Structure formats: structure tokens, C-alpha cells
Amino acid sequence: MVVKTTDAEFAQLLQSNENVVVKYFANWCGNCRLFAPKFNRMSDKEEYKGVKFLDINAEENPEARKLGGVNNLPFFAVFKGGKLVAADSTSKEEMVEKLIKQII
């Protein structure tokens, strides 16, 4: 399950979950919308059951955007123990899975 979040909740979610993957998006971003169903499917995979999947609007949440180092959209970041491990701007499912594998 993917959880939509905001700056107000982001830091708490990073602290309360050991492994976190974040999809940064914007409402105007077509590739972000196209990737959403893939991200949802990934969140349901058994191999990722220990990973918290978050969705955050990069334009409306500048603190979360800064923590992830967002430079393009869609943008993905993985955190372990509240610390940024890796990030990438991509629309490829296999690239996002490579990121996730760095934290599990």
C-alpha cells in the first residue's frame, strides 16, 4: 500500500519505518501519473513487505523535496533508518526496484 503524505508527516514516517521508498510527483507530471499503478503494484509485492511506500507531491512539500534531493520528476528516494541511501529520477520500474534493493 502506498501512503500519500505531506511535509507535516514525512519526518515522523521516516523515523518510524526502517526502510522507506518515496515517489515524488507533481499533478502536472504525465510520467508521474503513468508510474503510479506500477508503484502501487510494487508496494504489494511480498519481497517488499518490510518497506514503507510513500507518495509525496514535490511542489507542495518543500521540506520532503529537499531531504530527497529532488531534481526532476518523477523522482524516487530510498531511506534506511531515516537517512537517504540513494535517489534517482526515472520512469523505469527496474530502476526503482534497484533502489529498493539497496535498503532491504
Average pLDDT over the chain, rounded to an integer: 97
Tens of pLDDT, residues 17-33? 999 999 999 999 999 99
Number of structural domains (the chain) is 1
- The CATH number assigned to the domain holding 6 equals 3.40.30.10
Annotation says 29 is catalytic: yes
The type of residue at 104 is I
Catalytic residue among 29, 58, 87, 96: 29
pTM of the model: 0.96
* Contact predicate 54/5, CB 8 Å: yes
Contacts of 22 (CB under 8 A, 6+ apart): 54, 55, 56, 64, 68, 76, 77, 78, 79
Catalytic residue among 22, 32, 73, 77: 32
Domain, as residue range, for 10: 2-101
Q: What percent of the chain has pLDDT over 90?
A: 100
